[in-house]
């Protein structure tokens, strides 16, 4: 019995020693097998040690030529068949990755400087092309793409703004004035007041855990799952913040902005209704300069009300106000006053302010830095046999306007963001 126990202790000590060596290798990756092209970009790796010194011969034979044949033992990174194949770095399962950790680090480190390594966690970088699809879909989102977007290099950006709150003489453009001047008459000067608005990047993050079974069973399913779900979640959070964000650690939303104008309901209007008169009143409060880029954003609960709207005229039946999609208008979106009607998840339910929003998001400014940073680690959830994928996007946003605008003639204020008051 004592001999058996002694053998177990020796075996355990040996295992601990092997694990310690593996950990040491993580902090000292072998880069000798890495091959870079003439621009210094990571191109591939050598699978056999004896070919590591033959990179110059490779350059002479293959550099500048679009060929698919490569020297024996050489594997270009473009040969990865799927996202899952890249995550495993060509190994068949986690055990082989661990057994060849030193080599896997060498082939996956420093991917063109566009991704990052989580060294302390034992992570590896993810190829840029796998997150570019996510970023492209977010930027093309029907809400985010309508904003006035800027890329920044630092952590914040300050924009000069004029303090225009009225179109009356002496108030336009913060006090800048123009005068008609006769021949020989002196010019009259003006001193406009300029303000500033500052946006500071906030962090939007997604952390995904993937089981080893999902990675091994179908790499293409993994790629599809990650791209689809991460994109959907980031799109949702960005849209929600653009509409309803409180500006604390996230963008300031339109519905929280002091610049929005709220149109009162009609006298005697029933609860949970939208009338044609409401639409006309909202349209009249949208700034003329913002109408061209405006759109109606609605909760789908409002659609039955919109379909029933009409304006009474001398002939029976009235005039149609709401033009359904692919109906009489032949458009992909329904229209109101010639502007698209876009259903979203972020509008309030029928009868509550925000159930229908007329907005020109061209007057909503957003900034972002770089793309989506990705990193992955197989050690964070090692005991549960899961791979951790991390996605980080840095972004901020707020309306350009800080308060409604008083027109040159008239007293009803105008804005780029118009809502209908609650009808309860």
Per residue in 7-21, pLDDT tens? 776 777 777 777 766
**Same domain, yes or no: 302 and 407:** yes
The encoded tokens of residue 249 equal 């650690």
Q: Quick one: how far is CA 260 from the chain centroid?
A: 24
- Would you say residue 32 lies in a domain? no
- Would you say residue 150 lies in a domain? no
Residue in the structure block whose two tokens are 């913002």: 290
The encoded tokens of residue 399 equal 């309306």
**What backbone torsions phi and psi does residue 334 show, to the nearest 5 degrees?**
-65, 165
**Same domain, yes or no: 196 and 275:** no
Q: Identify the pLDDT of residue 353.
A: 97
- Of the candidate ranges 26-30, 205-209, 382-386, the one whose mean pLDDT is the lowest: 26-30
Coil/strand/helix, residue 57: helix
Coil/strand/helix, residue 110: coil
8 A C-beta contact, residue 359 and residue 350: no
Cα–Cα distance, 325 to 328 (Å, whole number): 8
Cα–Cα distance, 227 to 222 (Å, whole number): 9
- Would you say residue 253 lies in a domain? no
**Same domain, yes or no: 276 and 343:** yes
Q: Identify the pLDDT of residue 296.
A: 97
- Would you say residue 106 lies in a domain? no
- Would you say residue 210 lies in a domain? no
Of the two residues 16 and 96, the one the predictor is more confident about is: 16
Residue 364 above 90 pLDDT? yes
Of the two residues 36 and 251, the one the predictor is more confident about is: 251
Per residue in 216-240, pLDDT tens? 776 666 767 787 788 888 989 999 9
Give the total number of structural domains in the chain.
2
| Angle value at C-alpha 61, between 59 and 67, nearest 5 degrees | 100
**What backbone torsions phi and psi does residue 325 show, to the nearest 5 degrees?**
-65, 140
Residue in the structure block whose two tokens are 């879909």: 137
DSSP state at residue 166: B
**Same domain, yes or no: 346 and 274:** yes
**Same domain, yes or no: 406 and 307:** yes
**Same domain, yes or no: 274 and 407:** yes
| Angle value at C-alpha 105, between 104 and 111, nearest 5 degrees | 110
- Would you say residue 18 lies in a domain? no
Q: Domain range for residue 173?
A: 157-200
Q: Give the C-alpha distances (Å, rounded to integers) separating 378 from 94, 99, 211, 258.
A: 9, 14, 10, 47
**Same domain, yes or no: 273 and 409:** yes
**Same domain, yes or no: 182 and 293:** no
- Would you say residue 411 lies in a domain? yes
**Same domain, yes or no: 296 and 196:** no
- Would you say residue 326 lies in a domain? yes
- Of the candidate ranges 26-40, 67-81, 107-121, 335-349, the one whose mean pLDDT is the lowest: 107-121
Q: Identify the pLDDT of residue 208.
A: 84
């Amino acid at each position: 019995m004592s001999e058996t126990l002694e053998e177990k202790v020796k075996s355990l000590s040996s295992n601990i020693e092997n694990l310690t060596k593996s950990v040491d290798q993580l902090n000292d990756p072998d880069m000798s097998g890495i091959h870079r092209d003439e621009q210094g970009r990571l191109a591939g790796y050598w699978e056999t040690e004896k070919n590591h010194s033959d990179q110059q011969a490779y350059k002479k034979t293959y550099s500048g030529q679009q060929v698919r044949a490569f020297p024996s033992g050489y594997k270009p990174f473009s040969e990865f068949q799927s996202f899952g194949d890249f995550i495993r770095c060509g190994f068949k399962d986690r055990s082989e990755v661990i057994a060849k950790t030193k080599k896997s680090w060498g082939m996956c480190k420093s991917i063109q400087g566009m991704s990052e390594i989580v060294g302390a966690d034992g992570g590896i970088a993810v190829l840029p092309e796998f997150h570019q699809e996510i970023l492209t879909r977010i930027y093309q989102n029907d809400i985010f793409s309508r904003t006035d977007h800027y890329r920044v290099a630092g952590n914040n950006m300050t924009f000069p703004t004029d303090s225009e709150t009225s179109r009356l003489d002496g108030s336009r453009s913060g006090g800048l004035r123009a005068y008609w001047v006769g021949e020989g008459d002196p010019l009259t000067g003006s001193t406009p007041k300029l303000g500033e608005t500052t946006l500071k990047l906030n962090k939007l993050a997604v952390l995904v855990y993937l089981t080893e079974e999902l990675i091994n069973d179908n790499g293409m399913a993994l790629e599809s799952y990650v791209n689809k779900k991460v994109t959907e979640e980031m799109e949702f959070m960005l849209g929600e913040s653009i509409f309803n964000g409180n500006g604390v650690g996230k963008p300031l939303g339109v519905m929280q902005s002091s610049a929005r104008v709220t149109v009162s309901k009609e006298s005697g209007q029933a609860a949970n209704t939208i009338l044609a008169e409401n639409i006309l009143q909202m349209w009249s409060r949208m700034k003329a300069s913002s109408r061209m880029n405006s759109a109606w954003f609605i909760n789908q609960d409002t659609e039955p009300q919109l379909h029933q709207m009409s304006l009474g005229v001398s002939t029976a039946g009235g005039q149609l106000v709401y033009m359904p999609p692919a109906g009489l208008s032949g458009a992909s979106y329904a229209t109101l006053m010639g502007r698209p009607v876009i259903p979203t998840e972020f509008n309030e339910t029928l009868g509550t302010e925000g159930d229908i929003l007329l907005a020109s998001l061209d007057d909503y400014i957003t900034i972002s830095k770089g793309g989506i940073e990705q990193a992955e680690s197989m050690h964070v959830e090692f005991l549960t046999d899961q791979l951790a994928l991390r996605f980080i996007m840095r972004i901020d946003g707020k309306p350009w306007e800080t308060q409604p605008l008083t027109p040159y003639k008239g007293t009803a204020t105008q804005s780029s963001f118009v809502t209908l008051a609650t009808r309860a």
